[in-house]
Amino acid sequence: MTNMDFQGHVLVVTLTFYLLFLFFHSPLQTNASSTKLIGSVCKNTIDNDNCLKALESDPRAVKASRLKDLAKISLELAVANATESKTYIDALLTKNHTEPIKQCSFWFEAVVGSFRSALRELDEDVLSANYDSKIAGDDADSCENALALGKVQIPSISTRNNYAKLYSSIAFEITNLL
């Protein structure tokens, strides 16, 4: 084997390893493992299909490769969703000042607070983050119970309760795995 043949062989081997490295560390591979991560979490939630839709709609979640990152993203989504729901309920309350809507406003303040606490606790106390994630869903249930006790049906609030419970279930499942 001549020196030129040897250098050519080394170049081919080096290039092959480099291409294999790029392939196995490509975004496609990361997205596949992230999708698998999301799927493994969602299958244990209260609503697999809506969990997949919620998490896969956020590009950060699709790119997440660690459970801790996915926990943070899901809690950020939960805070945003619950905050929007609280704003909606408060606007509804100004037009229709009934006791069930007033109670839902109270309970959604608690939902937002629980999700925010869980997000803050994520790095320091995962068990507390897990607990607060669960409590947020219980608070949304309390809003739904207030509507039922008041014999009031407000589908837009019930839908928001369901999403709060979904995000609660997602965050609870993820923090349970940390």
Per-residue model confidence as pLDDT tens digits over 101-122: 999 999 999 999 999 999 999 9
pLDDT in tens, 16-63: 444 444 444 444 344 557 789 999 999 999 999 999 999 999 999 999
Question: pTM higher than 0.85 for the full model?
Answer: no
CB 110 within 8 A of CB 138: no
Terminal C-alpha separation, the chain? 55
41 by Cβ neighbours in 10 Å (0-12 / 13-18 / 19+) ranks as buried
Domains, the chain, in order of start with CATH, read: 35-177 (1.20.140.40)
Which band of pLDDT confidence, cut at 50, 70 and 90, is reported for residue 69? very high
